């Protein structure tokens, strides 16, 4: 088999890789394959039920582990032939050859196959093999080949995910503890990511690490700032990444809301103020509120400021502490009222303005419903809002676009669905 892998071209190696994986998986599927009518096992009718991971006892697996590792080794051999530095442990450009698309596809196929095979093994073996794979990824990042890194990012994410969800059966003192593994790996490539901070591969790698590692990633202030800057780049520079950038920050906010864990908090502490600045730049650019020497002309902006409002509202709704919720309301409410005043200048009360006004109205209702007492406490703070500002907020909250279509004054009371409910809003917020 070794010889076939070494002498075959990439198109012929793929069936060999698939054959190794099939043999590996069939070893585990050879037992515990049953046909059953039991409704507690089968959803309906006669159904074939297989147990992939538990079909062999750990004793059986350990007895046959050399044979299983041999199948894994054959797949790794195909990778090493194309990336010899993985075996050498150091980058030697003289040994590298030009990789074509079929070579890259083969490398990805081998990694994915290995990861699928690892999933059948006991946790204590999995964690060791994941550690080996992380080492190979460290060398690949040192090579700093954008094309190789990008094609392997899904495999890299699967590796990190596998580590994250393993208990590992390891003590904190051992190098193969999942938390230690991911942190050692991040520390080993962090400077490479910094040196290539504008590259797509570095940005995406940062996204994967920050969203997949969850509470296992330990960051200092500078590292938290770097990750937040990478996410912001996806909004303002690498516009092709705006969807995944949005999903990344939503995931980080979700982690923060679920556990208030320090890693997500550190990233958000740096991210949110910069996001607000980008929001201000964007609105000023929309309104042409700049002079020739104003830095906002070249400042970072987004295409639609509502994206930032959406993220800010999601962030506020993830906060669990009452005092911090009130503080966040005191921050976002002036921003939203300023935004509406700016949009009014831009669009002169036309349909675009009304659409923006309806959007902000809906977001304010979300905030009211999320924490009515917190909202009320915030707007009644005389040190933050005067009577005129409170009136502006009240007008937006009570805005009803449906009333306009009926020829009314445009500030009819609404619950966000076009139904009059002014007393309810008054009670919650301004009473």
The predicted-structure confidence for 7-25, as pLDDT tens digits, reads as follows 777 788 999 999 999 999 9
Question: What was the pLDDT predicted at 422?
Answer: 47
The predicted-structure confidence for 126-162, as pLDDT tens digits, reads as follows 999 999 999 999 999 999 999 999 999 999 999 999 9
Q: Which residues of the chain have pLDDT under 70?
A: 31-54, 167-176, 214, 259-261, 289-298, 403-431
Cα-Cα-Cα-Cα torsion 231, 237, 239, 242, nearest 10 degrees, comes to 10
Taking the CA atoms of 25, 30, 36 and 40 in sequence, report the sign of the dihedral they define. Answer: negative
Question: What was the pLDDT predicted at 262?
Answer: 78
Question: What was the pLDDT predicted at 280?
Answer: 95
Instruction: Tally Cβ neighbours within 10 Å of residue 28.
Output: 22
Alpha carbon distance 248, 64 (integer Å): 41
Instruction: Tally Cβ neighbours within 10 Å of residue 86.
Output: 19
Q: Residue 34 belongs to what H/E stretch?
A: strand 33-36
HSE-CB at 71 with a 13 A cutoff on CA atoms is 22
Question: What was the pLDDT predicted at 375?
Answer: 96
Q: Is 144 left (phi over 0), alpha (psi -120 to 50) or beta?
A: left
CB 143 within 8 A of CB 189: no
Question: What was the pLDDT predicted at 2?
Answer: 72
List 36's β-bridge partners, or say none.
47
Question: What was the pLDDT predicted at 94?
Answer: 81
Q: What is the DSSP string of 78-125?
A: HHHHH-THHHHTS--GGG-----HHHHHHHHHHHHHHHHHHTTS-HHH
CB 144 within 8 A of CB 196: yes
Alpha carbon distance 128, 136 (integer Å): 13
- Phi, psi at 40, each rounded to 5°: -75, -15
Question: What was the pLDDT predicted at 430?
Answer: 54
Question: What was the pLDDT predicted at 145?
Answer: 94
Which residues does 344 contact at the CB level (< 8 Å), separation at least 6?
A: 353
Question: What was the pLDDT predicted at 260?
Answer: 58
Nearest partner of 117 among 1, 18, 30, judged by Cα = 18
Which three-class secondary structure state does DSSP give residue 47?
strand
Q: What is the CA radius of gyration of the chain?
A: 28
């Amino acid at each position: 088999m070794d010889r076939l892998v070494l002498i075959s071209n990439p198109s012929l190696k793929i069936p060999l890789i698939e054959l190794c994986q099939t043999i590996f998986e069939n070893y585990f599927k050879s037992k515990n394959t049953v046909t059953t009518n039991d409704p507690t096992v089968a959803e309906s009718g006669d159904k074939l039920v297989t147990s992939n991971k538990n079909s062999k006892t750990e004793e059986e697996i350990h007895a046959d582990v050399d044979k299983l590792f041999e199948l894994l080794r054959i797949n790794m051999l195909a990778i090493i032939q194309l990336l010899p530095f993985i075996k050498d442990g150091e980058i030697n450009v003289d040994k590298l050859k030009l990789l074509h698309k079929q070579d890259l596809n083969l490398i990805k196929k081998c990694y994915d196959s290995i990861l699928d095979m690892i999933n059948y093994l006991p946790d204590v073996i999995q964690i060791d093999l994941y550690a080996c794979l992380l080492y190979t990824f460290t060398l690949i990042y040192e090579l700093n080949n954008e094309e190789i890194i990008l094609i392997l990012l899904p495999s890299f994410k699967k590796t990190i995910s596998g580590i994250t969800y393993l208990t590992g059966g390891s003590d904190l003192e051992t190098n193969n503890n999942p938390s230690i593994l991911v942190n050692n790996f991040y520390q080993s490539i962090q400077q490479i990511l910094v040196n290539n901070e504008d590259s797509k591969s570095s940005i995406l790698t940062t996204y994967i690490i920050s969203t997949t590692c969850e509470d296992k990633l330990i960051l200092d202030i500078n590292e938290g700032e770097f990750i937040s800057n990478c996410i912001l780049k996806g909004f303002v520079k690498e516009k092709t990444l705006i969807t995944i950038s949005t999903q990344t920050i939503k995931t980080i906010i979700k982690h923060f809301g679920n556990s208030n864990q320090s890693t997500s908090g550190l990233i958000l502490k740096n991210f949110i103020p910069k996001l607000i600045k980008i929001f201000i730049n964007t609105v000023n650019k929309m309104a042409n509120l700049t002079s020739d020497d104003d830095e906002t002309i070249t400042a970072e902006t987004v295409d639609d400021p509502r994206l930032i409002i959406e993220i800010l509202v999601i962030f506020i709704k993830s906060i669990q502490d009452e005092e911090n919720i009130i503080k966040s309301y005191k921050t976002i409410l002036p921003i939203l009222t300023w935004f509406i005043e700016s949009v009014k200048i831009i669009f002169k009360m036309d349909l675009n303005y009304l659409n923006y006004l309806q959007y902000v109205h809906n977001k304010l209702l979300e905030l009211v419903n999320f924490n009515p007492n917190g909202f009320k406490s915030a707007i009644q703070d005389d040190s933050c809002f005067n009577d005129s500002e409170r009136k502006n907020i009240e007008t937006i909250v009570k805005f009803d676009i449906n009333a306009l279509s009926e020829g009314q004054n445009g500030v009819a009371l609404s619950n966000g669905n076009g139904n009059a409910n002014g007393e309810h809003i008054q009670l919650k917020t301004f009473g």
